[in-house]
Amino acid sequence: MSTPAKPNTSNFIAPPSVASQIAQLPELPMPEIKSLWQRLFGNNVPNHNRQFLERRIAYRLQEVEFRKFDAALLDRNKRRIASLLETGKIKKRDRDYRPPAGTLLTREYQGIEHRVIVTQDGQYDFQGRMYPSLSMIAREITGTRWSGPLFFGLKALASPKTAARRGAQR
């Protein structure tokens, strides 16, 4: 009985990761930046401010790459845009809102910077361990119960009016 032949991968070169593409942007000559802009956006560069162009290109590279993993994000955004056009107001985020895969969340707490990466499967990578919620990570960092989205700045603190209304409803 023979074993199946392994595919020849010696000529296969994996495309560079989004992170490495972004890291290389400052090293690219300006003509290559302009060419990359045209390829990603389909039009000429709007200005010649290199920092602006690098930031927009970096954002677009991430948008293109991570859209592959969270198709629901595009649908959610389309609904929010339609609602904004219809009512003139932005509704609160969906309760199930999670940042797109690849998002890096940082928070400084007691002089230490903590970093969390949103994974493709909707979990959070903190110090090499996977967590199902940001609140669990916030508790790990602080030792007390916290709203994870609030701790990492994804959700604003309740305004004094909102807090007073909640107190009156109880």
pLDDT in tens, 49-80: 999 999 889 888 888 877 665 666 667 777 77
25 CB burial (10 A radius; 0-12, 13-18, 19+)? middle
- Is 78 part of a structural domain of the chain? no
CA dist 152 to 124, 136, 140, 156, Å? 12, 12, 13, 10
User: How far apart are alpha carbons 40 and 52 in whole angstroms?
Assistant: 15
Domain that includes residue 113, residue range: 104-151
Please tell me the total count of domains within the chain.
2
Q: How far is CA 54 from the centre of its chain?
A: 17
Is 50 a member of any domain?
Answer: yes
Query: Is residue 76, in this structure, part of any structural domain at all?
Result: no
Q: Output the pLDDT for position 17.
A: 79
Rounded Cα distance, 40 and 149, in Å: 32
Confidence of residue 9 (pLDDT cuts 50, 70, 90): very low
Please tell me the pTM assigned to this model: 0.43
Report if residue 121 sits inside a domain: yes
